[in-house]
Amino acid sequence: MTIFTLLGPTAVGKSAVASMIAGPLHAEIVSVDSMQVYKGMDIGTSKPGPAEIREIPCHLLDIVDPDTDFSAAGFKEAAGTAISDIISRGKRALLVGGSGLYFRAVVDDLDFSGHMTTREERAGLELEFNHRSNRELHDYLACLDSESAGVIDARNRRRVLRAIEIARSGGRPVSERQGSWERFSSPFDLKAAGLEMDRPLLYRLIEERVDRMVEDGFMEEAGTLAASGKLKRGTTAGEAIGYKQMLEHMDGLIGFDEAVDLIKKKTRNYAKRQITWFKKDPRIKWFKIEGGANDPVEVIENSIRTASTEILEYLIS
């Protein structure tokens, strides 16, 4: 089974390219975005609108409420169902997004085995070990699973706690599951294209996107979700870039302008992490959107069209 993918950092132009190549590929899009799965989180995630979806079907949007903690394992299952449905109708699947973990969850045979805790259980575990230092916690992990302790940095408290959680639940230790993450091996015939551009241009486009989100009513969207009780601080959705800052503003912790500036900064940092993640994957062939930080929109759009043609030729070759 051949799976096409289009990857890259936020604001690089993935949606524009996908809209140009999906038709010629006879493909339907599978969104690989960890936040577009949440209902009502539209403006803040740059989710495709109804008109775009009618033209090119897009799967895995709006599948859970924001007060649900959705995991990569759950996404893998949902994506597998969507891809099978697309293939059964004689279409191709085109995965589009920037969530590196979700991408690998879908295309690689990653091991998500182990006890899945509830939020309450996780909070209880953190409370139980709250008095212990990172070193003491790591020493305890070494008693339960010495091999996992050998590969997990003691300063990464969250990973240490997760490894303890798995070891105490009787699930497969992290040390036994690590191999599947280190191998870039897919059960699919994978054709992966990546979009990149120079950082100054990417950062400019990120800031312009945040400004458009604010103009389009991002603050109002976050406020409506918060008023409904579905968007809360501390949840997965509530910690999403943009929504976290808007919630903090609504709670009086930061000013509006500070919230917007933080969204831009956090998004730039996130884009850097996305690039680092994807660059480690040797299967991705990269295509550059040319342009300088001060180039007009027309120049960028022309480059996107050129890249779309090159990517289409690569994917069907």
pLDDT of residue 169: 61
pLDDT band at 72 (very low <50, low <70, confident <90, very high): confident
Q: Note the pLDDT of residue 157.
A: 85
Q: Which CATH architecture has domain 2-108+184-316?
A: 3-Layer(aba) Sandwich (3.40)
**Which pLDDT does position 25 carry in this prediction?**
96
pLDDT band at 113 (very low <50, low <70, confident <90, very high): low
Residues 6+ apart with CB under 8 A from 317: none
Residue 138 sits at the vertex; the CA angle it makes with 157 and 180, to the nearest 5 degrees, is 75
**Mean pLDDT along residues 248-263:** 97
Percent of the chain whose pLDDT exceeds 90: 63
Beta-bridge mates of residue 288: 196
Mean pLDDT computed over 215-236: 94
The string of pLDDT tens digits covering residues 116-134 is 555 655 666 677 777 778 8
**Mean pLDDT (whole number) for 242-259:** 97
Question: Residues 44, 222: contact at Cβ < 8 Å?
Answer: yes
Strand partners of residue 7: 97, 194
Region for residue 93 given its phi and psi (left: phi exceeds 0; alpha: psi -120 to 50; beta: otherwise): beta
Q: Which of 53-57, 66-70, 251-255 has maximum average pLDDT?
A: 251-255
> By mean pLDDT, which of 127-131, 179-183, 188-192 is the weakest?
179-183
pLDDT digits (tens, 9 = 90+) for 150-162: 778 888 888 888 8
What does the pLDDT read at residue 121?
59
Residues of the chain with CATH 1.10.20.140: 119-182
Task: Kindly indicate the confidence band of residue 236, based on its pLDDT and cuts at 50, 70 and 90.
Answer: confident
Largest CA distance in the chain: 61
- Do residues 116 and 49 touch, judged by C-beta distance below 8 A? no
Sign of the alpha-carbon dihedral angle for 154, 155, 157, 159? negative
Q: pTM of the entire structure?
A: 0.81
Residue 20, pLDDT score: 95
Q: What is the pLDDT of residue 18?
A: 96
From 167-181, 215-229, 255-269, the region with the lowest mean pLDDT: 167-181
- Start-to-end C-alpha separation, the chain: 15
92 vs 100: CA distance, rounded Å? 21
What is the C-alpha separation between 242 and 218, in angstroms, rounded? 9
**Segments of the chain assigned to CATH 3.40.50.300:** 2-108+184-316
Average pLDDT, the chain: 88
Q: How far apart are CA 174 and CA 158, in angstroms?
A: 13
Segment among 134-138, 150-154, 309-313 with least mean pLDDT: 150-154
Given this model, what pLDDT does residue 241 score? 93
Confidence band, pLDDT 50/70/90 cuts, at residue 199: very high
pLDDT in tens, 19-66: 999 999 999 999 999 999 999 999 999 998 887 777 899 999 999 999
- Output the pLDDT for position 271: 94
Q: Is the pLDDT of residue 178 over 60?
A: no
> Could you tell me which CATH class the domain 119-182 is placed in?
mainly alpha
- Place 164 in a pLDDT band, splitting at 50, 70 and 90: confident
Angle, helices 14-25/297-316, rounded to nearest 10 degrees:
40
Distance (Å, whole) CA 302 – CA 290: 9
Question: Which pLDDT belongs to residue 105?
Answer: 86
